[in-house]
Amino acid sequence: MENQPNHKPISKFLSLVLRHKPEKIGLELDLQGWADVDSLIEKLNANGPAVSREILEEVVATNPKKRFVFNQNHTRIRANQGHSIQIDHGFQPVEPPEILYHGTAHRFLDSILATGIQKRNRHHVHLSADLDTATNVGQRHGKVIILSVPAVKMYQAGYTFYLSEDGVWLTEVVPPEHIIQPF
């Protein structure tokens, strides 16, 4: 079996420049977070990891978290969500499933139960439709704890939900009264 190249460093660097610091390589994003692919490749090759169009296509296609997306003719690219810079995603409100999940570290539990799930430096709170995804997210921060969120009840109470292109559910905040004790 042929070894697959490790594109994880490229993917991490793309996350940095497309979600947080495009200025690190002198890249300009439009108001919706899109970057010109040729410009991105040129600036990556001058300031970061060497990338060809083929490698960029492979990184986008094989990213397990589906963090990036091309426009229809693959001339522009952006991160799906998770930006710390201000962009207009163009998300449309969607009615969520009955229950969504939030994976986090156990050390954050008391704070979350007191103040709710906050977006902090992101544009939205990130929620998952399945336990596996929530567990994987929570494990990045330490001993994992999964919180359940009665999303339909929140929606009926006037909270807005969005579904990103990579399947992440988004909302502004989850107040403490809408958090079901962890399991």
- The DSSP secondary structure of 92-146, one letter per residue, reads -B-PPPS-EEEEEEGGGHHHHHHH-B--TTSSSEEEBSSHHHHHHHHHTTSSEEE
For CATH 1.10.10.970, list the domain ranges present in the chain. Answer: 8-79
- CA angle in degrees (0–180, nearest 5) for 69-100-173: 80
Please say whether the beta carbons of 96 and 169 come within 8 A: yes
Tens-level pLDDT at each residue, the chain (183 residues): 344 567 888 999 999 999 999 999 999 999 888 999 999 999 999 987 889 999 999 999 998 878 899 999 999 999 987 777 877 777 889 999 999 999 999 999 999 999 999 988 777 899 999 999 899 888 887 899 999 999 999 999 999 999 987 788 999 999 999 999 765
What pLDDT does 55 receive?
94
Domain 8-79 architecture: Orthogonal Bundle (1.10)
CATH code linked to domain 100-178: 3.20.170.30
For CATH 3.20.170.30, list the domain ranges present in the chain. Answer: 100-178
Identify the CA nearest to 35 among candidates 69, 84, 83, 85: 69
What pLDDT does 5 receive?
66
